[in-house]
Amino acid sequence: MTLTQEHTRTPGHDPDATASMAARDLESHGFFLAPLLQPGFDVLDAGCGPGTITNDIAERVFPGRVTGLDISPGHLERARRLSQGREIVNASFIHGSAYGIPFQDSSFDLVFSHALLEQLLEPQRVLREFHRVTRPGGFAAVCSPDWDRFEMAPCPGAVTEAISAYRRLHDDNGGCTQAGALLGGWMADAGFSPISTGVWTERCNSPHRIAGFIASQLEEAGSHGHAGTLRTWASHPGAEFLQTWRYVVTIKLGEE
Ligand SMILES: C[S@@+](CC[C@H](N)C(=O)[O-])C[C@H]1O[C@@H](n2cnc3c(N)ncnc32)[C@H](O)[C@@H]1O
């Protein structure tokens, strides 16, 4: 299969973005998923990135399995190295796109996806794929940010404008900065039934890292003024970046 990124707005291998992803784990970013995980479950983690959450899931479902799916060979390699280092034997990492999940219908007890759907031009198409590969009676849990609820301090007008410029860039490139707020409707449209939903706020540990990532995206697009504003903001001793996430946990009803 030839994979392209044409349907995806991806942070790629920006070092700040990768470091942020690699700092995530099941407890911090998948806590809403944890109560569903049972030993013996077969789980798909779509858009697994560097695999820190995926490997935690593996430990929870053993002797079941988790499959991490991603379009980025670099992230997959990192995820595999993490498995080896932690001696995890029930995690596999495969190259493929969530637009065409390379598994048969009803292959998984649970499909999980963290911070993927907001990157996609056609998230609902991907959610229909999630529905196809989830077994009847199985679960799907997704989580995306909601940029309408982000907060930064201090937040002078220039910072607000820089963030607005980043959001326009993200959305013009095929992403959706409001994805978190739309997840519930998208999941229902794909055929899933709701179990729970919630909002939580992450205080980013490193203002330099998050500002550096956003600034580098703006610089690539030629917005050097906005990028400079954010880099300067990150140096402020009281700089705080509060990122709001929304999760939706669902079930695929039907004959088991
Ligand atoms: C923001 S990262 C999130 C990674 C991880 N889930 C986490 O939360 O740390 C999004 C990931 O989705 C992957 N991705 C983007 N488009 C994809 C697609 N169409 N199919 C599979 N993975 C995709 C990217 O390569 C990236 O690793």
| pLDDT tens by residue, the chain, 256 residues | 333 444 555 554 577 778 778 889 999 999 999 999 999 999 999 999 999 999 999 999 999 999 999 999 999 999 999 999 999 999 999 999 999 999 999 999 999 999 999 999 999 999 999 999 999 999 999 999 999 999 999 988 999 999 999 999 999 989 999 999 999 999 999 999 999 999 999 998 889 999 999 999 999 999 999 999 999 999 999 999 999 999 999 999 987 7
pTM given for the model: 0.92
How remote is the CA of residue 224 from the centroid of ligand 1, in Å?
27
Q: Which residues contact 38 (CB under 8 A, 6 or more apart)?
A: 61, 64, 109
Q: Which residues contact 44 (CB under 8 A, 6 or more apart)?
A: 66, 67, 69, 101, 103, 107, 108, 110, 111, 112, 130, 133
119 lines ligand 1 (CB under 6 A): yes
Q: Any idea which architecture 15-150+177-203+243-251 has in CATH?
A: 3-Layer(aba) Sandwich (3.40)
How remote is the CA of residue 197 from the centroid of ligand 1, in Å?
21
Query: pLDDT at position 66, please?
Result: 98
78 lines ligand 1 (CB under 6 A): no
How remote is the CA of residue 255 from the centroid of ligand 1, in Å?
31
Query: pLDDT at position 9, please?
Result: 53
Query: pLDDT at position 19, please?
Result: 78
Nearest CA to ligand 1 atom 10: 116
Nearest CA to ligand 1 atom 9: 21
Contact 146, 242 (CB under 8 A): no
Q: Which residues contact 87 (CB under 8 A, 6 or more apart)?
A: none
123 lines ligand 1 (CB under 6 A): no
For the chain, give every domain's residue range: 15-150+177-203+243-251
Contact 16, 210 (CB under 8 A): yes
What distance separates the 2 farthest-apart alpha carbons in the chain?
A: 57
Distance CA 140, CA 33 (A): 9
Query: pLDDT at position 95, please?
Result: 98
